[in-house]
Amino acid sequence: MAERSILFEPDDKYNAFLRVCNKPSYTEGKLAGVAVAVKDNISTRGIETTCASRILKGYVPPYDARAVELLRNAGAAIAGKTNMDEFGMGTTTENSAFGPTLNPCDTGRVPGGSSGGSAAAIAGGMVQMALGTDTGGSIRCPAAFCGIVGLKPSYGRVSRYGLIAYANSLEQIGPMGKSVSDVSTLMEVIAGHDRHDSTTHDRPYTHTPHADIKGLKIGIPQEYFGEGVDPAVADVVKKAIGRLEELGTTTVPCNIPSMKYALAAYYVTCTCEASSNLARFDGVRYGPAADTKRSWHEAYQEVRSAAFGTEVRRRIMLGTFALSSGYYGKYYAKAQVTRENIKADFNRIFKDVDVIAGPTMPTIAFKMKEKSDPLSMYLADILTVPANLAGIPAISVPCGKSEGMPVGLQIMGRMFEDERIVDVAYAYEQAVN
């Protein structure tokens, strides 16, 4: 296979990239000569990977994540590492230790998070495709806010080997692109079983999107159009669903009763897992050096206090508290019961429908610094976290605008039926284009 050099010099007006790479690609393969951006929590051999955190500054992985290895095998060039909310904790990409990313659609607004750098790199015309990660909506949120396409695959469809963990049971690496076809192509490259990741399944993705969705039944949960959802956003999405009906689908009203507990269950689960996962970062091997002349626990505390951002410290403390003696059953155990109830609700609905549709986000992209308190920020995730708790696939596709800003249509499907939701998204995209 012949190798060639890709010269990548983006006009990065949006702080989408933390570092840019002029790397070799190959003249053969599904992605031959294509520059693909990679979120900065996905390991890249020989390229600094920081999770947009000072505590990992200077860390250069000695290996590629499985998804990155597959990109290289397919002939792609790694364009660079994209900005993100620190350790994936955020909905705006304002929580990066290296400055916020701007939304190319309106630089006074956030691009969404936590994969905001990947979304902005695509929306700003710097790359055609990118890898993001989705723990509670971190692919779909920036896809909706920036007017691009983003897919959260079924849990286990894409290897997490080499992904720096935040919340293992929730997160997935997934494709982002300008079009549904781009996303489908990238998914075909990165999906499949990996012996390094015991949670992966032997379900390769070999699919060409098609626009014939006649006869499909689409569930419309009333909770996705209720309290907290901007009526203007809801109207745009309802018109998009009407377009799907014109293509021969039928809509079926449905309910997800457990959804009122989904956000609480999600934040208990992800903070508990973050508390465990981030305990390994101690300032000894990389990041700000600990003062080894002091007692271990004092040096450790000082480094973590200084090098972790406010939101990361908040989530570590919340998770540590929820896992502590006397509170584990009160919080974490109840969150897992709620999670099972959410899965059961989706399973019940999918007995009668093929996919579920609704808004990706309850509002358009926020203005910079508009969401100053954590609670209002967490509430923005209400429509995306259920898919992560259930492990089902979900895709966001642009479906119109409100106040001149993009609105995303979210389509969710049965476990491992990623191909079906891609087809519905593709059918809609073709119809409006």
Note the pLDDT tens digit of each residue in 355-375: 999 999 999 999 999 988 888
As a whole number, mean pLDDT of residues 365-394 equals 95
As a whole-number percent, the residues of the chain with pLDDT over 90 amount to 86
pLDDT value, residue 25: 72
- Residue 82 phi/psi, 5-degree rounding, is -95, 150
Torsion angle, alpha carbons of 184, 121, 377, 428, to 10:
-40
Fold category of 1-433 in CATH: Amidase signature (AS) enzymes (3.90.1300)
Task: Give the Cβ contact number of residue 217 at 10 Å.
Answer: 14
The DSSP output letter for 61 is -
Report, as residue numbers or ranges, the catalytic residues: 39, 114, 138
CA distance 249 to 64: 42
Cβ proximity of 421 and 429 under 8 Å: no
CA distance 283 to 202: 38
Q: What is the pTM of this model?
A: 0.96
Asked which of 16-25, 29-38, 313-322, 386-395 is least confident by mean pLDDT, the reply is 16-25
Domain ranges of the chain: 1-433
- Residue 191 phi/psi, 5-degree rounding, is -80, 155
Q: What is the pLDDT of residues 6-63, one digit of tens each?
A: 777 888 999 999 999 977 777 789 999 899 999 999 999 999 999 999 999 999 999 9
CA distance 244 to 398: 14
Beta-ladder partners of 109: 367
Q: What is the pLDDT of residues 215-269, one digit of tens each?
A: 999 999 999 999 999 999 999 999 999 999 999 999 999 999 999 999 999 999 9
**Spatial strand order in the sheet of 35-39:** 17-20, 77-82, 35-39, 129-134, 172-177, 149-152, 394-402, 405-413, 355-359, 217-221, 250-254
Cβ proximity of 131 and 175 under 8 Å: yes
Name which of 407, 28, 392 is nearest 174 in CA terms. 392
